[in-house]
Amino acid sequence: MVSSVTEGVKVSVKTEYQSEYSSPLQAHYVFTYRITIENASEYTIQLLRRRWLIYDSNGTVREVEGEGVVGLQPVLEPGEVHEYVSGCNLRSSMGKMAGTYLVERVIDGKQLQVAIPEFTMVVPYKLN
């Protein structure tokens, strides 16, 4: 698991290879990632947008940007946590992702770019 903190907002990521949905012979590798967002700041925040950069070890880079996360724009009071699971497919057995969330402080509308820490996605047999 990797984590980072931006202005009191902690983002942690854990990945898992999904062998049952992958097909190495067709260069199709599926990974899931569990994101935990913890609001350790003193302000209520709302997650508005996400931006991802997805790097495949074959040299491909993709950008994904959009509203919220998995169809939600969660509001987190101080001390609250939001978790979700999403997925990514790669054309090679290794890759990485990193990005940012755009969050807004509810009290004054100030927007912040919260870092999503870089994390790797590696098929388990590549680690041996």
Q: What is the 3-state secondary structure (H, E, C) of 12-48?
A: EEEEEECHHHCEHHHCEEEEEEEEEEEECCCCCEEEE
Q: pTM for the full model?
A: 0.93
Contact 9/37 with Cβ under 8 angstroms? yes
> What pLDDT score was predicted for residue 82?
98
The CATH label, of 2.60.40.1470, 3.40.50.300, 3.30.565.10, 3.30.930.10, for the domain at 2-126 is: 2.60.40.1470
Give yes or no for residue 63 having a pLDDT over 80. Answer: yes
Contact 104/46 with Cβ under 8 angstroms? yes
Measured between alpha carbons, how far is 48 from 51 in angstroms, rounded to an integer? Answer: 11
> What pLDDT score was predicted for residue 128?
58
> What pLDDT score was predicted for residue 67?
97
> What pLDDT score was predicted for residue 16?
97
